[in-house]
Amino acid sequence: MNALIAEAKKVCGDFELRKNEWADETYSAGEVSATIQTEAGNIYTGICIDLACGIGFCAEASAIAEMLKHRETHIISVVAVSGDRILPPCGRCREMLAQVDSRNLDCKVILDDTNAVLLQELLPSHWLETN
């Protein structure tokens, strides 16, 4: 769990240093980063992009896209961070995690340094549940 958190913090911190070179007050990128670990043990990261007109996307979506490029869908755990804060995925990201592969309802969503819950606990009575 701590390794995923550290990787997300590293990506967020590394990107924000460069962000100041091009970001302005109408948009930002990299203020949130996410890390996904797949069933195969691979780690994928992503950053958020916040745009003025609302067409940006969350860090989890970016990490999912990176994972899909490598032909993987089954997520074991996920974490998103902003600075020193760990953030639970928003509703849109929760749904995306589930729809990419229904087995992801059993992935661990890291909530802090010592706590995680299954995605299905954040999406009770989900329409994809096969149980």
Instruction: Summarize pLDDT for 76-127 with one digit per residue, the tens.
Output: 999 999 988 999 999 999 999 999 999 999 999 999 999 999 999 999 888 8
* Contact yes or no for 91/113 (Cβ under 8 A): no
* Contact yes or no for 33/46 (Cβ under 8 A): yes
CA 107/CA 89 separation, integer angstroms: 12
pLDDT tens digits along 14-47 = 555 455 555 566 667 778 899 999 999 999 999 9
pTM recorded for the entire structure: 0.83
* Contact yes or no for 35/78 (Cβ under 8 A): yes
Enclosing H/E stretch for 8: helix 2-19
Domains, the chain, in order of start with CATH, read 2-122 (3.40.140.10)
54 has which bridge partners?
none
Q: Which amino acid is at 26?
A: T
